[in-house]
Structure 1
Amino acid sequence: MAFGSIISRTDGSWGQNIHEAYLYITEKYPEVETTFTDLIPWGELPTWMELQGEKKTDLLYLDSGATVFEAVTEVAPKYPDMWFITGGGGVDINAQLPANVIMYESQQHEGSYLAGVAAGMMTETNKIGHMAGFDYPMIVRNWKAWELGAKSVNPDIEVNNIYTGAWGDPENDSEVGTALIDLGSDVLFHDTDSLSIFKIAEEADVWVVGVHRDQSEYAPTRVIASALANHPLQAEQGLLDFMAGTIAAAKEVKVYGVEAGWPVITSLTNVPEEVKAKVEEAEEAIRTGEIVVPEILED
């Protein structure tokens, strides 16, 4: 099983969570031979995938379907016995992928909704801010769910949203984060592949919501929660389906969230007990189906 990402294993976010998936599988399933490669240049993804095919690799675990779409569309048909697993990407993208490309989708927008509930209760300005590299459907889905969660407890919420036009650009992200604060946002949410937002939050004494993995270590006194991508669990589910011979049946996007018992948000920190109680109440409502968090894929 080979893990590959265009992002660094030390980015503190998406790339690191994929590396954590590799470590998790390696430790829990010692009988499975695993490898990990990060910082694969986007244009060299097809070459890297073909190399895995020549090595007779059984499973590849990759970035999102949107990120690797062109590469897997080109390479997967050449290696029909190798399974390509993408870490989410959306039903619309999955329908266009080759038969041996399987998408496992953690319901990160449910975690984003719950973080929004907390944000709606923690804001003092009734303005919260979101920043991300681009308006990918998965990213829009998450921040729109965050907005819905905030407005469920505070209808007066106003969301300031800015796309930075880049991934992992700390200087640019610092400028955008500062701009959001200047607009009055006192709770921030991000998907940028940099950690600039945490330093900004500490300096400005505003709250921040992490993404993909627990990011509380980067601003221990300002992070209130992180919405989880769950790459370790997605990789494990793909491996188990492969080992059981049922992976082909997973071609229809498999989604895992609160109802399936997957964690979608970290424990809340730096918030009053009434905020924790309200988030727990909302999570239970999602579990029972009383709340269905919609997937809004366009701004």
Structure 2
Amino acid sequence: MEDINLTRRQALGLFGAGLALTAVPLSGCTGSAGGVGGKSSRRAGIILSGPANDGGWGQSHYESLKTACAERSGWKIVDPRENASPTEAADEAQSYVDQGVDLIIAAGTQFPDSLRKVVADAAKKRPEVKFLFTNVSADDLAGYDSVENLETVLPDNVQLGQLAGVVAGLMTSTSKIGFVAGMELSSSKEKYEAYLAAAKKVNASVEGFADYSAGYTEPSQGRSVAATLIARDGVDVIWGDASAAENGVRSALEEAGADSHFNIAQPMDVSGLNQPTVIASTVVDWMIGQAMDRIESGEYGRGHVIEANLQNGGVSLSELSDKVPDDIKQKVEGYASQIRDGKF
């Protein structure tokens, strides 16, 4: 969810109070020996700009990797490389290459530019090593000389925004909905536009208020931004795109009244995890399993873009909170079906 050269999720650190999450084990699953594509076992490594148990961006990727590994014999996870800046990511990726790791996942649009040389060198010297960049389009690879050993995963940001917008538009009592992002990136703007348009479609009186200054590391900054939207603009539902800062957003909503002020989380489902304001989560599966399948079949590479959307299960809406009335749940379900079918 980043543009090239813009570091979106560095040094996330640990969350502040209010997010009780189960820690993610860093050992990964191990695959049983049994030939996959002529190889008895394969290894996958992941480079993250924050912790693997951050409850958001990093954890959604690591959970996707664990699930993909667990569902496929012959794959195992090597230790994830956490809290990596783009510059550090190049060193981490080279380390994986030197180890002969089969699939190297770089989680975020800030990484492709800094990994360009590593990818190019690996294509010549270690062509069996493959790279997967998430939240990256073909346009983001314009500076690459070769993409023979590379694929990307691109979630449907419009569908994500529409799902969140439908929930927000139906649940707002003030007709004022908010969007809090860490930075004014093109992906965040695309999400907000779809979010507001969908909310207006289901509730014509809705007004939208966006703030792109929350950053990605400090809950206190997220809390400050959200508190302003609530007090100044009357916002009572907020969709977040700010990783660790979203914990502060939820704190501000809770202080304003958890029965009347609501949060829609992303990109993983945090519903029920001691989060009284979260009424829904827009969830992304980073399609790592599909990438593994393509490696095993010999199809992998050439800059292929793996889409994550409602149609293939890469994008979804979590179960709605009990705070969402049954009649609204039914409406959300209907609209979600329309969004999936391209009829919204």
| Residue 256 (structure 1) shift | 2.8
Query: Which stretch shows the higher mean deviation, 78-87 or 162-171?
Result: 162-171
The answer to whether the Cα contact below 8 Å between 1:259 and 1:286 also exists between their aligned partners in 2 is no
Partners of 2:158 and 2:249 lie apart in 1 by: 20
Please name the residue that 2:284 is paired with.
229
SS of the residue aligned with 2:266? strand
| Residue 272 (structure 1) shift | 1.2
In the alignment, structure 1 residue 37 sits paired with structure 2 residue 77? no
Q: For residue 136 of structure 1, what is the amino acid of its counterpart?
A: L
Q: For residue 281 of structure 1, what is the amino acid of its counterpart?
A: G
The answer to whether the Cα contact below 8 Å between 2:237 and 2:262 also exists between their aligned partners in 1 is yes
Please name the residue that 1:294 is paired with.
none
Partners of 2:230 and 2:50 lie apart in 1 by: 27
Alignment of 1:273-284 (within 5 A): 273-284=326-337
The answer to whether the Cα contact below 8 Å between 1:198 and 1:218 also exists between their aligned partners in 2 is no
- TM-score w.r.t. the length of structure 1 is 0.89
Please name the residue that 2:239 is paired with.
189
SS of the residue aligned with 2:340? helix
Please name the residue that 2:140 is paired with.
93
Structure 2, unaligned stretches of length 5 or more?
Answer: 1-43
Distance 1:172-1:262 versus aligned 2 partners, 3 A rule = closer
Return the match for 2:305 from 250, 253, 256. 253
Distance 1:252-1:31 versus aligned 2 partners, 3 A rule = closer
CA radius of gyration, larger in: 2
Distance 1:62-1:163 versus aligned 2 partners, 3 A rule = same
Q: For residue 242 of structure 1, what is the amino acid of its counterpart?
A: I
| Residue 76 (structure 1) shift | 0.6
Partners of 1:164 and 1:218 lie apart in 2 by: 26
- TM-score w.r.t. the length of structure 2 is 0.78
Q: For residue 43 of structure 1, what is the amino acid of its counterpart?
A: T
The answer to whether the Cα contact below 8 Å between 1:211 and 1:227 also exists between their aligned partners in 2 is yes
When the two chains are superposed, the root-mean-square deviation of aligned CA atoms in Å is 1.9
The answer to whether the Cα contact below 8 Å between 2:279 and 2:324 also exists between their aligned partners in 1 is yes
Structure 1, unaligned stretches of length 5 or more?
Answer: 292-299
The answer to whether the Cα contact below 8 Å between 2:130 and 2:301 also exists between their aligned partners in 1 is no
Partners of 2:269 and 2:104 lie apart in 1 by: 24
| Residue 16 (structure 1) shift | 1.0
Partners of 1:61 and 1:198 lie apart in 2 by: 30
Alignment of 1:1-299 (within 5 A): 1-35=44-78, 36-64=80-108, 66-80=109-123, 81=127, 82-97=129-144, 98-99=146-147, 100-164=149-213, 166-182=215-231, 183-194=233-244, 195-205=247-257, 206-218=261-273, 220-231=275-286, 234-248=287-301, 251-269=303-321, 270-291=323-344
Q: Deviation per CA, 1:46-77, whole angstroms, max 9, x where unpaired? A: 1111111111112111212x210222222110
Partners of 2:342 and 2:177 lie apart in 1 by: 27
| Residue 94 (structure 1) shift | 4.0
| Residue 218 (structure 1) shift | 4.5
The answer to whether the Cα contact below 8 Å between 1:108 and 1:227 also exists between their aligned partners in 2 is no
| Residue 20 (structure 1) shift | 1.1
| Residue 165 (structure 1) shift | 5.6
Q: Deviation per CA, 1:20-65, whole angstroms, max 9, x where unpaired? A: 123223322342132122112332111111111111112111212x
SS of the residue aligned with 2:110? helix
Partners of 1:235 and 1:260 lie apart in 2 by: 13
Distance 1:16-1:256 versus aligned 2 partners, 3 A rule = closer
SS of the residue aligned with 1:76? helix
Please identify runs of 4+ aligned residues in structure 1 that moved more than 3 A.
94-98, 217-221
The number of equivalent residue pairs is 287
Q: Deviation per CA, 1:117-168, whole angstroms, max 9, x where unpaired? A: 1111111111111111112222222222211210111122111111126221
Please name the residue that 1:296 is paired with.
none
Distance 1:220-1:173 versus aligned 2 partners, 3 A rule = closer
